Amino acid sequence: MFPRLLSVWRDVRSSLWGLPLAMVVAAAIIALLAVTLPLSQSDDPVWFLYSGDAKDAPQFLSNLVTAMITMATLVISITMVVLTLAAQQLGPRLIRSFMADRRTQVTLGLFVATVVYLLLVLRSTYGATDRVPNLAVTGGTALVLLCLVALLIFVHHLATSIIADNTIDRVGDALDADAKRLLPEPEFEESPPPPIFPANGARRSISRQAAMCRQSIIANW
């Protein structure tokens, strides 16, 4: 039973939906908590909080959702193109190593989680007349900016990961890790300590005594 569960856990870790799904659930929980904490702007508003009113918030969030869906589609399309090129040039067996890449999983999860977060916050702003979830809207803006930076890093990462040398190094590291996990190093028995040879004077005395013993044995024989 335990090996089967371990195999399922490894399949989930090396999939493109395991970590993104966990990030989506976390984003949904954060969105539900953020919309319950509206921070009304006073006469001296905080510069980093959303300062719009209840009528402008839905339109602002709708624009963010539209932009994020377009960017998420772009990221998924780039990922599929890279996987296709890798299967054609390097072999279909290496697709698993690309799917198990943490950077790819985190980037996909970040984009999808941001879309889910914005949708939940947008849903809470419709019909509101005087209640604006300033903290939730500000968090959505920060996530969109983070996704823009992640998109640049992700494109660079995909461009370098498809190079044959980098792929070979990544597969070699995974093979070494599996070999250490499946084939642990044997425990060698402690070797006996090296013999301690006597000094030159003691060695000559022992040799003289051995010669005398041999002569006495020959005489008695």
| Token pair for 98 | 């690309």
Sequence-separated (6 or more) residues with CB below 8 Å from residue 18: 12, 105
- Span 188-209, pLDDT tens digits: 555 566 555 554 554 455 556 6
Q: Please determine, for residue 66, whether its predicted confidence score (pLDDT) is greater than 80.
A: yes
- Span 133-173, pLDDT tens digits: 888 889 999 999 999 999 999 999 888 887 877 777 777 77
Q: How would you classify residue 38: left for phi > 0, otherwise alpha for psi between -120 and 50, otherwise beta?
A: beta
CA quadruple 72, 77, 82, 88: dihedral, nearest 10: 160
How many helices (DSSP H) and strands (DSSP E) are in the chain? 8, 0
Phi and psi torsions of 77, nearest 5°: -65, -40
CA quadruple 28, 29, 32, 37: dihedral, nearest 10: -130
Q: In this predicted structure, what is the pLDDT of residue 186?
A: 59
Cβ neighbour number for residue 59 with a 10 Å cutoff: 12
Q: What is the mean pLDDT of residues 43-69?
A: 81
Phi and psi torsions of 199, nearest 5°: -70, 175
Q: Please determine, for residue 10, whether its predicted confidence score (pLDDT) is greater than 80.
A: no
